[in-house]
Structure 1
Amino acid sequence: MRRHPSAADFPALLTKLCDAGVEFIIVGGAAAVIQGAPNTTSDLEIVHRRSSDNVARLLDVLLSLDATMRHDLANRGLRPTAELLAGTGQINLSTSLGPIDPLCELDVGQGYEELLPHSQLIIDEGRTLRVLDLPTLIAVKAKAGRPKDRMVLPVLIATLQERDK
């Protein structure tokens, strides 16, 4: 059985992605945390550019981190593929540095290119990261409507209001 750390090492995971030149936008809970929301998150969700070169760079990083499908109940050790990363779905992966969820799209028509104008560059621990902006993150969470998304909305709205003061 493969072992993975109990806690994600997001700084190391982000460094690997950045050092490899992977183009991605941080979304979800990590985007909220990076922008000052007092939340926690257990995985790194990204929307990546689906060009063949970028998919190849992302796949190389994931395979170097021993990535496997996280929700494989048969525990077959299924690995990500370029075809999956170039598609339209969400991939939930475990890696040696913790969980990462490469999202081809947040929703239909919300891939990397469409989200790019709704992202901002943030310097975090010496890395330049592209992060989904808070207004768009709030809209995405509101549209998703899942209980976990509804619970975090007041915190995200308060974070945005505090930041805009």
Structure 2
Amino acid sequence: MAHPRQADLAGLIDALQAEGVEFIVVGGASAVLHGALAMTQDLDVVHRLTPENVARLATVLEGLDAFVREPAQRRLRPQAAHLSSGGQLNLLTSLGPLDLLGRLHDGRGYDELLAHSEVLTDGIHQVRVVDLPTLIEIKTTAGRAKDRIVVPMLLALLRERERH
């Protein structure tokens, strides 16, 4: 099965939600969901590290024919130990790239981020994303070129929201 290099964000989110996986969208997809005119090729999520949630996540990944992106030629399947480690796992799925983070670079995991997240809806779908101030903090701290590009857009969105 061919695996796309561009994420089907809605499809990946739907697959995770259908299995009851607890997660918070972070990264570029979070910026897009907040309304930033940004591009992203993958879905980055911080998932809860409980055994039950890891088991649900493993079920989703099996259904999505997920494997570790590098080295792609080896098609290494994610194992429960990888999913519960708290590290980062960059996968390629039948719905595109999916990056799983047990914790952010600063050590915050799902439970710590929960208070700094919000549920966004388009009237049909609902998804938990990291809130805008926290996303700005994450992107600023990361300091990568792609993050420096999106931070001004996120700051403008935040100022606009604060005015209303």
TM-score by length of 2: 0.94
Aligned to 1:25: 24
Other structure's SS at 2:52 match = helix
Counterpart in the other structure of 2:94: 96
**Which stretches of structure 1, 4 residues or longer, exceed 6 Å deviation after superposition?**
none
Native 8 Å contact 1:18 1:127 kept in 2: no
Pick the aligned partner of 1:146 from 144, 147, 155.
144
Query: What are the superposed Cα offsets for residues 67-91 of structure 1, whole Å, 9 maximum, x if unpaired?
Result: 0111215x10001111111012111
Deviation at 1:163, TM superposition (A): 2.1
Superposition pairs of residues 110-125 of structure 1, within 5 angstroms? 110-124=108-122
CA gap 1:154/1:108 in 2 versus in 1, 3 angstroms: closer
Structure 2 gaps, min length 5 = none
CA–CA separation in structure 1 for the residues paired with 2:120 and 2:145 = 29
Match of 2:38 in 1: 39
Whole-Å separation in 2 of the counterparts to 1:124 and 1:88: 30
Q: What is the SS of the residue equivalent to 1:25? A: strand
2 CA distance for matches of 1:33 and 1:139?
16
**Which residue does 1:84 correspond to in 2?**
82
User: How does the TM-score come out when normalised to structure 1?
Assistant: 0.94
**Structure 2 CA distance for partners of 1:108 and 1:6, relative to 1, 3 Å:** closer
Q: How does 1:118-133 map to 2 (within 5 A)?
A: 118-124=116-122, 126-133=124-131
Cα deviation digits, residues 72-119 of structure 1 (max 9, x gap): 15x100011111110121110000011100111112431000000000
Provide the aligned length of Structure 1 versus Structure 2: 163
Gaps of 5+ in 1: none
Q: In the alignment, is the contact (CA less than 8 A) between 2:45 and 2:99 conserved in 1? A: yes
Query: Equivalent pairs: percent with the same residue?
Result: 52
